[in-house]
Amino acid sequence: MEKEEKKILSISVRNLVEFVLRSGDLDNRHSFTAEKNAMLEGGRIHRKIQRRMGADYKAEVTLKHVVEEDQFQILVEGRADGIIDRPDELIIDEIKGIYMDLSYLEEPFSVHLAQAMCYGYFYCFDKQKNGAVIQMTYCNIETEEIRRFQTEKTFEELEIWFQGLIHEYVKWARYLYSHGIRRDESIRDLEFPYPYRQGQRELAVSVFRSIKRKRNLFIQAPTGIGKTLSTAFPAVKAIGEGLGDKLFYLTAKTITRGVAEESFDILREKGLYFSTVTITAKEKLCFLEKPECNPDACPYAKGHFDRVGDCIYDIIHKEFGITREVILRYAGEYRVCPFELCLDISNWVDGVICDYNYVFDPDVRLKRYFSEGITGDYLFLVDEAHNLVPRAREMYSATIWKEDFLLIKKVIKPMDEKISRLLDRCNKELLEMKRQCESFRILEDVRFFVTSVMTLFGEMEPFMEKNPEFGDRDLVLDFFFALRQFLNIYDRLDDNYRIYTELMGDGRFMLRLFCINPSKNLQECLNKGNSTIFFSATLLPVSYYKELLSGDQEEYAVYAHSPFDQKNRLLMIGTDVSSRYTRRNRNEYRKVADYISNIVSARKGNYLVFLPSYQYLREMEAILPERISQDGTITCAAQASHMNEQDREEFLMEFSREREDSFVGLCVMGGVFSEGIDLKEERLIGVIIVGTGLPMVCTEQEILKDYFEERSSKGFDYAYQYPGMNKVMQAAGRVIRTVKDEGIIALLDERFLRPDYQVLFPREWDSFYEVKLKNVKEVAGHFWDSRHEEEKSDGIHTEITTI
């Protein structure tokens, strides 16, 4: 009975051996094989080999072993690729599919052999066997050539070896045990840090209920309701109830990661004992100007694995909100790679704050959590979830360019004639496709071309291993990774994809594997956890997001009402103006400029104007000054097409300046200023949105339209209208951020009067004013006058009650 009550700490065989056995330098020059092994583990080649092995061969055997400690148990688990158990022979088989030439492989990789030895020990322990043959089976993906390594181990040898392995891990397990006890105790008494706003309590309850039922939830919640705390708090409470053991807070932008960090800090101030790490991109963490992860180029890479364990042990005992700044401080002190340190720390904290990529992207995802065969009691909070649709499409698509093959051929030809010939063969096959393509062309299959790419890739891998330094190596390396991505995405092709070629306006030619509906690929990751909460201020229509993010229309969904007084906001629709391409002329631009001038002149303040494109923005930038020059009380600034972080900060600083005139910021709808910026109270009092946000007509959008038209007769909706309205609502969400905010939202396009657009309006847009150019200033002025009168009456009331 006592054993059953002990807390169980689980770790996968792979994570255990990789954590304990690593040592020496960090060196990405020799990591191609290891990376792809992790990526391809459990894939097609495993199944092919397993089918050939005969009736005695048991494939994918789940094995577990429990190590007893005083207060807890360590459960080590995994799946052996194959076991042959005959009366006179026991073979434990570990299969790895790789691209490299097997003649270069002199012995098995140590971590692979260690995995197999764990499985050998577990099986001998369970079945009371005296020993086993530990077999490593390596298979070349391209040629299907096989090479095996065997070593015979007695049970005693396996037992002594495993006890040494687990001994190195026990102190870490003790930390997890004691930390978990303190964490759960703190969660038990944790209260929501503020009085609930309208709708917040119901939102938190819905999140907790969904997690408890191991269901996914879609939340449409207006800006300002406090979505981050309203989702993070119940998720933390669920962990305290044993409904999850690690929280992933996923974002699309850096600024929203900061909001998540602040929310967990707030909960910690209220007594929460809960550690988080924020994973930052390698380029933003690296101490060098350019990341070069090898001991010759980076002193932090040399001996990294010899020092990183002590660094991790130190940081997890002293820090709880482990941000970029904290990572850099400790990495500098211990002289380790900050990015790798950041990833390793994620194993020992309760929550991980990171970009979508680290969970979903097959090239970037944290393989320690999301590789084949690994699952966990994960909880996913997906912030600004509307961004995940286009991001996921890109993650699960792949493109190669014909011109790249010729460019790489010039670099490699003096060094390797065979690779040069293979590059030439791929180029000729693409040239044949190009001749058959006038603009773009949908293809049924490209399997013959893929065979050529696989052959090329198989030759390039040992070449890259043998040549760690040469001119333009970075160029070749990027091409190498592009081929790898192309091959991996090709393995995913199904009815959710389209293959097409396109001849670009500049003459370049591309072949693209385009993921149209990413839900199946996303679920591959989400199914590894217990529950996912998708939330955003713009998840309308929710059926669209259910189809593209989960593929299940039966998922839970809630609509949180806005807590803000509707009297503080004026919504206007301009009925005599349009951004249609057929209407884009000098007269229409002047009319839009006059609209902006009239709205802004109704009250001095800061305004954002969102325009359909950079071309439209340039037209407005030229025309607007002449329309507002009569009184000279308006200052303008425009978003540039390429703005670095400092440029963006300087643009936003304009909204904080003290000025005697009004300020108008001209931006592109769907750009960097359309979401994620927080201009509260007087920093922004109006948003003017020109057009319905429809994406530009292009090959990809037309393919999307045709795909969904075939399936649901909603091609235009899925490809253009829904993404467009999402951009409109995101832009509109900049103006009312807090209970004290007041402002105007002006939608300048007659199409907003159509029922098919108004059905997509959020509930808080249930009333609006139809305006024309001749009366828009009067309507805006009346709104501001009414707000001024109400403020005066509130002031009088306050004065009387004070007396």
DSSP letter, residue 41: T
| In-domain check, residue 178 | no
CB atoms under 10 Å from CB of 416, counted, come to 17
Q: Are residues 747 and 625 in the same domain?
A: yes
Specify the range with the lowest mean pLDDT, choosing from 12-16, 467-471, 473-477, 553-557.
467-471
**Mean pLDDT computed over 77-85:** 91
Per-residue DSSP letter, 348? G
pTM of the predicted protein model: 0.89
- Contact assessment for residue 422 and residue 452, using Cβ atoms and an 8 Å cutoff: yes
Residue 1 burial (10 A CB sphere; 0-12, 13-18, 19+): exposed
Residue type, 326: V
- If pLDDT is split at 50, 70 and 90, which confidence band does 803 have? very low
Q: Are residues 384 and 429 in the same domain?
A: no
Name the domain boundary from 502, 537, 559.
559
The pLDDT of residue 694 is 96
| pLDDT at residue 665 tops 70 | yes
Is residue 229 domain-shared with residue 133, that is, in the same domain?
Answer: no
What are the pLDDT digits (tens) for 727-745? 999 999 998 887 788 999 9
Identify the pLDDT of residue 44. Answer: 61
Residues 19 and 309: their CA atoms lie apart, in Å, by 9
Question: CATH code at 439?
Answer: 1.10.275
* 488 domain residue, yes or no: yes
Average pLDDT, the chain: 90
**Residue 795, in any domain of the structure:** no
Rounded percentage of the chain residues whose pLDDT exceeds 90:
72
Of 53-62, 341-350, 478-487, 551-560, least confident by mean pLDDT is 53-62
Is 40 a residue whose pLDDT tops 70? no
Does residue 358 share a domain with residue 221?
yes
Whether the CB-CB separation of 733 and 538 falls below 8 Å is answered with yes
What is the pLDDT confidence band of residue 798, given thresholds at 50, 70 and 90? very low
Query: In this structure, are 202 and 103 located in the same domain?
Result: no
* Structure confidence at residue 510 (pLDDT): 97
Q: Is residue 714 part of a domain?
A: no
Per-residue pLDDT at 403:
97
Q: Is the pLDDT of residue 36 over 60?
A: no
Residue 364: inside a domain, yes or no?
Answer: yes
Q: What is the pLDDT of residue 230?
A: 95
- Whether residue 612 is contained in a domain is answered as yes
pLDDT in tens, 376-418: 889 999 999 999 999 999 999 999 999 999 999 999 999 999 9
The yes-or-no verdict on residue 526 having pLDDT over 50 is yes
Look at residue 464 and tell me if it is in a domain.
Answer: yes
**Cα atoms in the 13 Å half-sphere on the side-chain side of 72:** 18
The answer to whether the beta carbons of residues 312 and 374 sit under 8 Å apart is: no
Instruction: Work out the percent of the chain whose per-residue pLDDT is above 70.
Output: 94
Instruction: Tell me the residue range of the domain where 777 lies.
Output: 566-696+723-790
What pLDDT score was predicted for residue 703?
A: 97
pLDDT for res 511: 98
Q: How far apart are CA 722 and CA 718, in angstroms?
A: 6
CATH code, domain carrying 59: 3.90.320
- pLDDT exceeds cutoff 50 at 427: yes
pLDDT, residue 660, reads 83
Q: Are residues 218 and 356 in the same domain?
A: yes
Q: What is the pLDDT of residues 111-142, one digit of tens each?
A: 899 999 999 999 999 999 999 999 998 887 76
pLDDT at 796: 36
Residues 75 and 6: beta-carbon distance below 8 Å:
no
Confidence of residue 190 (pLDDT cuts 50, 70, 90): very high
Q: How close are the terminal C-alpha atoms of the chain, in Å? A: 69
Helices 304-318 and 155-188: crossing angle, nearest 10°?
30
Element (H, E) at 748: strand 743-748
> Which CATH number goes with the domain that contains 732?
3.40.50.300
Residue 43's pLDDT band, with cuts at 50, 70 and 90, is low
Q: CB count, 10 Å around CB of 406?
A: 15
The CA-atom distances, in angstroms, between 359 and each of 228, 370, 514, 771 are: 19, 7, 20, 46
User: Model confidence over 223-250: pLDDT tens digits?
Assistant: 778 899 999 999 999 999 999 999 999 9
Among 123, 140, 172, the domain boundary falls at 172
Residues 105 and 238 in one domain: no
Give the residue carrying structure tokens 């070896």: 161
pLDDT at 47 over 90: no
Residues 317, 300: Cα–Cα separation, whole Å: 22
Structure tokens that stand for 172 in this block? 């870490």
pLDDT given for residue 792 in this prediction: 59
How confident is the model at residue 139, as a pLDDT? 85
> Hey, what's the torsion of the CAs at 225, 226, 229, 232, to 10 degrees?
70
Q: How confident is the model at residue 794, as a pLDDT?
A: 55
Cβ-based neighbour number of residue 321 at 10 Å: 18
Distances (CA, A) of 550 to 215, 530, 632: 11, 14, 52
Are 551 and 636 in the same domain? no
Question: At which of 504, 537, 559 does a domain end?
Answer: 559
Question: Is the pLDDT assigned to residue 57 strictly greater than 90?
Answer: no
Residue 448 contacts residue 408 (beta carbons within 8 Å): no
Note whether 754 and 610 are same-domain residues.
Answer: yes
The pLDDT assigned to 791 comes to 62
Do residues 508 and 359 both lie within one domain? Answer: no
pLDDT tens-digit readout, 472-508: 988 999 999 999 999 999 999 999 999 999 999 999 9
pLDDT tens per residue, range 682-712: 899 999 999 999 999 999 999 999 999 999 9
* pLDDT at residue 802, rounded to an integer: 25
Count the domains in the chain: 4
Statement to judge: residues 237 and 381 lie in one domain: yes
pLDDT tier, 42 (very low <50, low <70, confident <90, very high otherwise): very low
- Parallel, antiparallel, or unpaired: how do β-strands 72-86 and 7-12 relate? parallel
Residue 793 has pLDDT above 60, yes or no: no
Top-confidence residue, 328 or 564:
328
Whether 248 and 143 share a structural domain: no
Rama region for 640: left / alpha / beta (φ>0; ψ in -120 to 50; rest): beta
507: region left, alpha or beta (phi > 0 left; psi from -120 to 50 alpha): left
The pLDDT tens digits of the residues spanning 249-300 come to 999 987 789 999 999 999 999 999 999 999 999 999 999 988 888 898 999 9
In a domain, 703, yes or no: no
